[in-house]
Amino acid sequence: MKKTVVLGALALALFYTQFKSKKNDCRKICVCKVIEHEALDAVVSGMDEYLQQHVQNCKVFVETAQGNMALALQILAKFVNSGAAVVVTVGTTPSQCAFKFAKKNKIRLIFSSVTNPEDISPDLANNNTTGVSNFVTLEPQVDLFKQIQPRLKKLGIIYNTGESNSISIINRLRVVCRNKDIVLIEQGISKIADISQATKKLVREVDAIFISNDNLALSGIPNIVAICNESKIPVYVSDTIQVEKGCLAALGPNQYDIGVQTGRIVKKVLEGEDINKIAVEYPEVNELYINLKAAELLGISIPSEVRISAKKIISE
């Protein structure tokens, strides 16, 4: 009898240990976003929903750096100490901060929605870092603008002077516009309060405004659109989500799909694939969104060939 009781107690203890181990065997995916806006939210949603469907025992934790590098560093230090299975950064600023930990072998870093991965580091290889860029080739976008506005001569852009991916876009866009006989008029900003004044200045000088993958400018899209509508100036974007907010057109990736791509890389790493052997990925598909309601308000006729090519047409 005594032997039976002892064996029963050992079996119960073993069961409890295994149960406790399984219950606590949750792999933490810690996410740091650069700022709050719908595009980045869509990236996180795409990744989270993919992981919930394809990876067992994982949980996604999300914090936002509010565009502040010091806060990003605090968040990432906390992630490191929490024993995260993988750290995901959405946007350039938190990715730059997280790379400091990754190259010291403290985390495995997967970045997402970073326009120019070299802004994180020119030497990502063998530093526990990979991810998904949201870079969209600029030439087809400018060609689209000229298809819609054949007389386009002056293009304005609002960008964050403190965001390295935005500086990279500006440098490339200058060359593209010069080659296409378009004058690029730039308005740099450093905080969201600068957006109204920058937009009001641009609408007096340009035929259209372009907002590329600049997180600060994207967070002010409703304000930009409202000011531009008053002056009948169209707003073009790279982020398709913003077309529903009144922008005229966008040629770019679906941000949710960028998140799914990111989730697939996270899954590979969780399953044991060497992160240093996973190449940086770029958008698999670019989609054209157009807003006919905005076109009507602006007195612009969208060519039939543009309509035919559109993935989504917003008319209400």
List the CATH number of the domain containing 178: 3.40.50.2300
Q: Are residues 212 and 297 in the same domain?
A: yes
**114: Cβ contacts below 8 Å, ≥ 6 apart:** 89, 91, 92, 95, 120, 131, 132, 133, 134, 165
Query: With 90 as the cut, is the pLDDT of residue 211 above it?
Result: yes
Same domain, 233 and 269: no
Predicted confidence band of residue 25 (pLDDT cuts 50, 70, 90)? low
Same domain, 152 and 68: no
Are 50 and 183 members of one domain?
no
Over range 113-119, report the average pLDDT: 93
Average pLDDT over residues 260-281: 97
Is residue 245 situated within a structural domain?
Answer: yes
Q: pLDDT-based confidence at 22, cuts 50/70/90?
A: very low
Residue 13 has pLDDT above 50, yes or no: no
In a domain, 4, yes or no: no
Residue 32 is part of which domain span?
A: 24-134+255-277
Tokens coding 286: 């670019």
Q: Are residues 127 and 227 in the same domain?
A: no
| Same domain flag for 262 and 231 | no
Predicted confidence (pLDDT) at residue 17 exceeds the cutoff of 70: no
Whether the predicted pLDDT of 24 surpasses 50: no
Cα-Cα end-to-end distance for the chain: 79
Residue 282 located in a structural domain: no
3-state secondary structure of 82: coil
Q: DSSP readout, 21-73?
A: HHHT-PEEEEEEESS--HHHHHHHHHHHHHHHHH-SSEEEEEEE-TT-HHHHH
Are residues 200 and 212 both part of a single domain?
yes
- Look at 25 and 64; give whichever has higher pLDDT: 64
Provide mean pLDDT across the span 253-262. Answer: 95
Looking at the structure, do residues 174 and 269 belong to the same domain, yes or no? no
Q: How far is CA 278 from CA 111, 113, 273, 291, in A?
A: 12, 17, 8, 38
pLDDT tens digit sequence for 28-69:
999 999 988 888 999 999 999 999 999 999 999 999 999 888
Q: How confident is the model at residue 165 (pLDDT cuts 50, 70, 90)?
A: confident
pLDDT score of 161? 94
pLDDT of residue 163: 85
Domain contains 202: yes
Q: Are residues 189 and 296 in the same domain?
A: yes
Mean pLDDT lowest among 66-75, 141-150, 256-265: 66-75
Mean pLDDT throughout 148-176?
95
Is there a domain that residue 15 lies in? no
Kindly report the average pLDDT of the chain as a whole number: 91
CA distance 295 to 302: 7
300 confidence band (pLDDT: 50, 70, 90) = very high
What are the backbone dihedrals phi and psi of residue 6, each rounded to the nearest 5 degrees, phi first? Answer: -65, -45
**C-beta of residue 182 within 8 angstroms of C-beta of residue 155:** yes
Residue 103 has pLDDT above 50, yes or no: yes
In the chain, the percentage of residues whose pLDDT exceeds 70 is 92
Higher pLDDT, 279 or 15: 279
Residue 1, in any domain of the structure: no
Does the pLDDT of residue 10 top 90, yes or no?
A: no
Residue 11 has pLDDT above 70, yes or no: no
Question: 3-class DSSP state for residue 290?
Answer: strand
> Is 166 within a domain?
yes
What are 287's two structure tokens? Answer: 């989609």
Same domain, 93 and 152: no
Domain shared by 61 and 153, yes or no: no
In three-state secondary structure terms, 169 is helix
What pLDDT, on a 0 to 100 scale, did the predictor assign at position 171? 95
Report the number of distinct structural domains present in the chain. 2
Is residue 105 located within the same domain as residue 185? no
What DSSP line would sit under 114-150, residue for residue?
ES-GGGT-S--TTTTEEEEE----HHHHHHHHHHH-T
Whether 309 is in a domain gets the answer yes
CB-based burial, 42-61: b 16+ in 10 Å, e otherwise: bbbbbbbebbeeeeeebebe
